Amino acid sequence: MKRLLMDNLIAWKDKKHRKPLILWGARQVGKTWLMKEFGASYFDNYVYISFYNNTHMSSIFAEDYDAKRIINAIEVNKHVQITPGKTLLIFDEVQAAPKVVESLKYFCEDAPEYHIVAAGSLLGVAIHEGVSFPVGKVDELRLYPMSFREFLLAMGEDRLFDYASNSDYERINEFSSLYRELLKTYICIGGMPEAVCRYVENHDFSEVREIQLAIMSQYEGDFGKHVSANELPRIRMTWQSLPMQLAKENKKFFFGQVKAGARQKDFEKAIQWLVDAGIVYKVNKVQKPAMPLKAYVDFSSFKLFLIDVGLLGAMSELDIESVMQGNDIFVEFKGALTEQYVLEQIVSDTGYTPYYYAGEKSAYETDFLIQKNRDVVPIEVKAETNLHSKSLRAYHDKFLPALSVRVSASNYIDQGWMKNIPLWCVSTI
């Protein structure tokens, strides 16, 4: 399995002014595997410590933040030799050991020669609950579920990966039927590494669904373990409402669909917990499609998406076989699954922060907006090959963006005022 973030880890390893690295990411996206693979492939050795239910190793950090003493204690306890530049130190599940997180500041200041990578599945939640974060003293990377491009590599489709990565639209259009079939498979499986690996091994969708349900069960188990009794029902109601929220035409989150009479202030903490846990993406509305987009955020309106399109299918009880065997390829993917998929690729594979716009007149509504250099780019998502872009055209005529993008199941087309990007090439945006 190849994860594209490995290139970023290699660059961090050789960085002149390197700091300890925090690898963000939700549970089950592959953080532990990636850190160990990095250590095994690019260092002489690595030392892995998980702080989950590990009070003994946590106690090493309780006395003080003397980096040399901590290193010596780890060597003695783990029976290893830690050599600067040759050993990777991996601190996992650090949300369970706040002192470990705080120690990274002192490793940065007093022992920068050591390579340290730290991760925690619920670290975002822990930070908001009072764990002191070493601001300015750490480097940061985020790992997402496997993107469609990574899925192509896992399936052995290196050529198709290369074409998509290099925006070779002539070849992409030539092999569009292959891309369509693989995308159909990806939307059913999603990008959780265990599900992808198991499908590559045996092509058994029923086993994939079992894995997806198990992952969702783990997420829901975290609700009960880490949430107060008062907040737990709200988090569960918010989580369970997501398929219904995304099935709507405009995808805007309505509190009334969580609970009759619900108000935003009643569910703000629940939504923030899900976002901090990394299992929900929040896409904010902007009041005006202007630079910088962040300055025009309307905090009262937003869309919520799941972390993974495969999990959304499982939560929605999508019948995988009927989708895979359907004649009209993307009919089953209208709305929720298609927009969910595109959102994931934008977040994980382009580096842009997506927003959306909805003016007083729905004619100007966009599915997503991104800030590309000095331009605000509207993005319309279409599940079908039968294309009508009235909203995108109306937006374009009113705001005159330098570039307008439609993402659809059709081939790449440059129509002058708008470019149509195939669904399997969102990364080329």
Query: Residues 6 or more apart from 43 whose CB is under 8 A from it?
Result: 86, 87, 88, 115
Q: Give yes or no for a contact between 392 and 404, defined as CB atoms under 8 angstroms apart.
A: yes
Residue type, 135: V
Write down the pTM of the prediction: 0.94
| Helix 6-13 and helix 31-42, axial crossing angle in degrees, nearest 10 | 50
Structure confidence at residue 228 (pLDDT): 87
Cα torsion angle, 405, 410, 412, 417, sign: negative
What pLDDT score does 262 carry? 78
Tell me, what's the pLDDT at 30?
A: 98
Could you please state the CATH topology (level 3) that the domain comprising 6-142 is classified under.
Answer: Rossmann fold (3.40.50)
Q: Where are the domains of the chain?
A: 6-142, 148-428
According to the model, what pLDDT value does residue 141 have? 97
CB atoms within 10 A of CB 329: 18
pLDDT of residue 329: 47
* Tens-binned pLDDT, residue by residue, of the chain (429 aa): 899 999 999 999 999 999 999 999 999 999 999 999 999 999 999 999 999 999 999 999 998 999 999 999 999 999 999 999 999 999 999 999 999 999 999 999 999 999 999 999 999 998 877 788 999 999 999 999 999 999 999 999 999 999 999 999 999 999 999 999 999 999 999 999 999 999 999 999 999 999 999 999 999 999 988 888 889 999 999 999 999 888 877 788 878 778 777 788 889 999 999 999 999 999 999 999 999 999 999 999 999 999 999 999 999 888 877 667 654 545 555 678 999 999 999 999 998 999 999 877 667 889 999 999 889 999 999 887 667 778 899 999 999 999 999 999 999 999 999 999 999 999 999
- Angstrom distance (rounded) from CA 191 to CA 182: 13
* DSSP per-residue codes, 307-321: S-HHHHHHHTT--HH
Q: Which pLDDT score, from 0 to 100, does residue 323 have?
A: 67
